[in-house]
């Protein structure tokens, strides 16, 4: 979707404000939000693409006025509600409705080390034919889906070159909407900075963007 999250190339946000000796978390509530990701994604359950899409569906003004962990909190509330794990009344009251069935936690403390060190790769062990190979010139499709995509606006209709083939991966555009993995090759695609931003930028510079077969056509 052409959402507010798609920030690449926008103007008006001012200088980058880097804090020296920044702590991992700035507030205790941020820790609790962060720590919900693993257990809630197992309990609800949802995949990373659904999570990102939940954040992208925030009201644009609200997205810009809130912090990163508030975005996460919004995503968690939205998905917990949509998956039927909680109700708005329960979130308002801060406790489970009377008579709700007791569940079992999917993630126990004893499993945390294994879960975090293993992760969940989006790489798919499937034989899928690659549409492109290293060195192929490609054009990014000009599409504007109202649904989830990882194709940023700034590359649409631009000419690039396949830098490397990363192998076969889940397609987020499909997985975010429960339509299956649609596994296909994902590539690092080279763009000259001038192709993306015009002739006023350095002719030496370049941008590399990861893109799937579905995003590209031969040049």
Partner 1 sequence: MSAGDDNHHNDDHDHDHQHANSRPLSDPELRVKALESVLVDKGLIDPAAMDALIENYETRVGPHNGAQVVAHAWSDQQYRQRLLEDGTKAIAELGFSGMEGEDMVVVENSATVHNVLVCTLCSCYPWPTLGLPPVWYKSAPYRSRVISEPRKVLKEFGLKIGDDVEVRVWDSTAELRYMVLPERPPGTDGMSEEQLAALVTRDAMIGVSLIPAPKI
- Residues 46-75 interacting with partner 1 (rule: CB under 8 A): 48, 52, 55, 63-70, 73
Instruction: Point out which residues pair with 211 in neighbouring strands.
Output: 187
Q: Given the rule CB under 8 A, which of 125-133, 134-142, 176-184, 196-204 is the region that contacts partner 1? A: 196-204
Among left, alpha and beta (phi > 0; psi -120 to 50; other), residue 90 is alpha
**Between residue 133 and residue 152, which ones bind partner 1 under the rule CB under 8 A?**
150-152
Question: Per CB under 8 A, does 196 bind partner 1?
Answer: yes
Instruction: Point out which residues pair with 164 in neighbouring strands.
Output: 188
**Between residue 90 and residue 109, which ones bind partner 1 under the rule CB under 8 A?**
90-96, 100-109
Among 125, 129, 157, 204, binds partner 1 (CB under 8 A): 204
Question: Per CB under 8 A, does 1 bind partner 1?
Answer: no
User: Which uninterrupted H or E stretch holds 79?
Assistant: helix 68-82
35: which residues sit within 8 A by CB, 6+ positions away?
none
What does the per-residue mask of binding to partner 1 show for 151-190, with x meaning CB under 8 A?
Answer: xx-x-----------x--xx-x-------------x-x--
Tell me the number of residues near partner 1 by CB under 8 A: 104
How many helical (H) and strand (E) elements, i.e. helices and strands, does the chain have? Answer: 8, 5
- CA distances (Å), 15 to each of 12, 60, 144, 172, in order? 9, 21, 30, 31
Of 132 and 172, the one with the shorter C-beta distance to partner 1 is 172
Smallest separation, CB 43 to partner 1 (Å): 4
Smallest separation, CB 152 to partner 1 (Å): 6
Q: Whole-angstrom Cα distance, residue 77 to residue 86?
A: 8
């Amino acid at each position: 979707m052409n959402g507010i999250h798609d920030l690449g190339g926008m103007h008006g946000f001012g200088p980058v404000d880097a804090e020296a000796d920044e702590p991992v978390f700035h507030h205790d509530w941020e820790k609790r939000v962060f720590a919900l990701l693993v257990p809630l994604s197992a309990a609800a359950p949802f995949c990373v693409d659904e999570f990102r899409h939940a954040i992208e569906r925030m009201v644009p003004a609200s997205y810009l006025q809130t912090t990163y962990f508030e975005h996460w909190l919004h995503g968690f509330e939205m998905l917990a509600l949509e998956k039927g794990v909680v109700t708005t009344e329960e979130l308002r009251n801060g406790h489970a409705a009377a008579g709700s069935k007791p569940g079992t936690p999917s993630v126990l403390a004893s499993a945390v080390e294994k879960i975090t060190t293993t992760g969940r790769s989006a790489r798919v062990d499937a034989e899928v034919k690659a549409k492109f190979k290293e060195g192929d010139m490609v054009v990014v499709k000009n599409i504007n889906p109202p649904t989830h995509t990882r194709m940023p606006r700034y590359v649409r209709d631009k000419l690039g070159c396949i830098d490397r083939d990363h192998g076969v991966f889940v397609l987020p555009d499909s997985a975010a909407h429960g339509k299956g993995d649609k596994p296909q090759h994902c590539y690092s695609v080279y763009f000259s900075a001038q192709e993306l931003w015009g002739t006023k930028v350095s002719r030496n510079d370049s941008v590399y963007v990861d893109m799937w077969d579905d995003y590209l056509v031969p040049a």
